[in-house]
Amino acid sequence: MDGQNKIIIGAYWGDEGKGKIVDLLASEADWVVRFNGGDNAGHTIVANGKEVVLHVLPSGVVQGRNAAIGPDVFFNPKSFFADYESVIKAGFKISGRILIDERAHVIMPYHTAMDAGGGATEQLGTTKRGIGPVAKDKASRTEDITVSDLVGTGFKEKLNAVVAAKANELIGNRITTAAELNKYANEIYMQYVRYANELKKYVGSCAYELNEALASGKSLLLEGAQATLLDIVHGTRPFVTSSNCTAGGAAANLGIDIRKFRIIAVAKAYPTRVGEGSFPTELGNYEDAKKERKGETLTAAEKKKAIDGDLPLLGKWIRQDGREFGATTGRPRRTGFPDFVALRYSGMINGADEWAITKIDVLSGKPFKAAVAYEKDGKKTTRFPFKLEGWKPVYGRKEYFWPPMDENEKMAAVQKGYDALPQGMKEYVKDLAISTGAPVSMVSIGPEREMTVVKDALKRTAEYLK
């Protein structure tokens, strides 16, 4: 796969561990590119024993790759500088180039204030980073501020015009008052003009730079934020984000030719979901999950109960072992059994060439099933319904199980390759590949970069499909 261009996307509702896969592949890439989302995403990378969480910067920067932020990214300058600092603080050097697309839209303080202020979108359970409001302004074409506006000479006038146009909205949402409107605009200006001065040197055109890079044989790695089921078009609307999270979306928004890319869909071994919305294979329920704190442990008796079929407890066990608490918001994530209906859909929407399965070690020692169809009112389907409400999972007959692997077994599997993985795990990987019609190129068995089984994975899992 060396030298090949790749698109990495998430297959479920985000938090699949894409950061680790990107980090793993970044050393082969000349450019690592964020193509969607904003600082609502948090990509966690564990490298050299250090954990770095990035919200805007592509994960590849820690490896000194050139990093680009595409035009469909909602760009929060404050988070950009925070990312930059956290990379330096963790001891990494930023030696590659950074390119921020001039067409990207800037998240302004009123966007975050509106997102945090409740209102009609409260029920969506957003990350409160201003994503919906900035996307609305982008679509308006008249009340938007692009990166180009931000670093241009007319920024002050543009900002004043936008604040004036939004006056009713800002006052109605109690973000400012009529009397303070000018002062409010000026405060934002003072803050953002400082960002602008720092950012100028990074601003350019991704379409030109990346196409030129492709033409000269350089390799690109496109890193998606969120995931297919959160895509604004193909996701579980209205409980979705406001950008395109799919491989096709990456190509369209960057202005590059998708035929030049291999598409790697990242499926966490079990789905998780933050925020509201239907979740057919959910274990337990969101209300109970919300009460949980990171780091709670299950007693031996509770684990036994979970193994014996207490599904809410199993869900809690997965959440705790998988550290399923938001990198951006700290919110507990809902956990569920694997869902082949959803994965088949995601594989199709993205044209996935291969799967990377992450966090499979979290399922070690836990018996589980996988959904192969849904049913509702006596009707059965293997399609992923647009309106998910009320659909219940139909599980396959098989129960998957393998005992926990110790560190030696994990190291041995990394070195020997796919065949050395536990039998029960391979059964699951095989069924995932067959259900979705795509082979598996990577199986992640621990958070560290090294703990990934790549050797023979693609070959063996392609054999399942013959």
Interface residues with ligand IMP (CB under 6 A) are: 13-15, 40-41, 124-127, 129, 131-132, 225-226, 230, 239, 241-242, 274-275
| Residue 43 is among the residues annotated as catalytic for this protein | yes
Instruction: Let me know the angle formed at the C-alpha of 70 by 66 and 74, rounded to the nearest 5 degrees.
Output: 125
Amino acid at 147: V
Cβ nearer to ligand IMP, comparing 42 with 347: 42
Q: Which is nearer to ligand IMP, 90 or 116 (CB)?
A: 116
Which are the contacts of 198, defined by CB distance < 8 A and separation ≥ 6?
81
Residue with tokens 């018996």, as numbered in its chain: 367
Distance between CA atoms of 175 and 381, rounded to whole angstroms? Answer: 47
Tell me the residue type at 327.
A
Count the Cβ atoms, other than its own, within 10 Å of residue 166: 23
* Shortest distance in whole angstroms from residue 121 CB to ligand IMP: 7
CB 271 → ligand IMP: shortest distance, Å? 11
Least separation, in Å, of the C-beta of 226 and ligand IMP? Answer: 5
The angle at the Cα of 103, spanning 100 to 105, to the nearest 5 degrees, equals 85
How many Cβ atoms from other residues are within 10 Å of residue 162's Cβ? 21
**Per-residue tokens: 231:** 């895509």
Q: Using the structure block, give the residue that is written with the tokens 């599997």.
A: 413
| 3-state secondary structure at position 26 | helix
Residue (19 or 96) nearer to ligand IMP, CB: 19
Q: Which residue, among 195, 224, 206, has the nearest Cα to 104 in the 3D structure?
A: 206
d(CA 212, CA 317): 48
Torsion of CA 261, 267, 273, 279, to 10 degrees: 110
| Of 13 and 110, CB closest to ligand IMP | 13
15 flagged as catalytic: yes
Instruction: Establish whether the linkage from the previous residue to 238 is cis, with ω within 30° of 0.
Output: yes
Identity of the residue numbered 314: L
What is the token pair recorded at 430?
Answer: 């095989």
Q: Which residue is nearest to ligand IMP (CB)?
A: 275
Closer residue to ligand IMP in complex, CB, 170/229: 229
- Active-site annotation holder among 39, 43, 105, 361: 43
Q: How far is the CB of 48 from ligand IMP (least distance, A)?
A: 24
Residue 100 beta carbon to ligand IMP: minimum distance, rounded to whole angstroms: 20
Closest separation between CB of residue 313 and ligand IMP, Å? 24
CA angle 449, 450, 452 (to 5 degrees): 90
For ligand IMP, give the closer residue by CB, 53 or 394.
Answer: 53
User: From the CB of 197, what's the least distance to ligand IMP, in Å?
Assistant: 28
Cα separation, 171 vs 104, in Å, equals 26
| Residue 163: partners with Cβ closer than 8 Å, 6 or more residues away | 110, 170, 181, 184, 185, 188
Are 134 and 74 in contact by the 8 Å Cβ rule? The answer is yes
Cβ closest to ligand IMP, residue 242 vs residue 436: 242
CA–CA separation, 38 and 105 (whole Å): 10
Nearer to ligand IMP, 32 or 151 (CB): 32
Q: What is d(CA 340, CA 65) in angstroms, rounded to the nearest whole number?
A: 35
Q: Least distance (Å) from ligand IMP to the CB of residue 41?
A: 4
As annotated, the active-site residues are: 15, 43
